[in-house]
Amino acid sequence: MLTGLQIDPGFEGVLVVGLYNASPRSLTLEYLAPFCTVEFLRLARPVQTSFRPGEEQKQENIPRADKDYLRTLETKSLSEMSESLRKLTVDVGSLANSVKIMQWLVPIIVAVGMAVVGIMTKLK
């Protein structure tokens, strides 16, 4: 599931659940087979403001704008994500090495610069 869907008190309508198959294999969901659960929480007190009436309230199908958006989504495969993480690890390691070098190089550059300024000051 792509998100932790939250159903607001007072909502009436169709629930839309986004799914993503991160496997390189296709997956078949059987018709009417359960694939997720809904958790209901008892509130300590009544809600102050229930779900506001609007376009989403009491719809019986997925809005066309949502369908169009879902068709345009592109995601990486699990192997592509793994490769991205590997490259990120290498880049972070390289950055860490650069920081280590700078930790001793910067004080040397500052010391040499101060020495040059000191020598130039004495020569004037």
Q: How far apart are CA 55 and CA 12, in angstroms?
A: 11
Express each pLDDT in 82-105 by its tens digit: 899 999 999 999 999 999 988 989
Q: What is the mean pLDDT of residues 18-38?
A: 82
Express each pLDDT in 50-68 by its tens digit: 777 666 677 777 778 877 8
- Give me the chain's average pLDDT, please: 82
Q: How far apart are CA 22 and CA 10, in angstroms?
A: 34
Nearest to 19 by CA among 42, 7, 36, 33: 36
Where exactly are the structural domains of the chain?
Answer: 1-75, 76-123
Q: Is the pLDDT of residue 112 over 70?
A: yes
Q: Which amino acid is at 25?
A: R
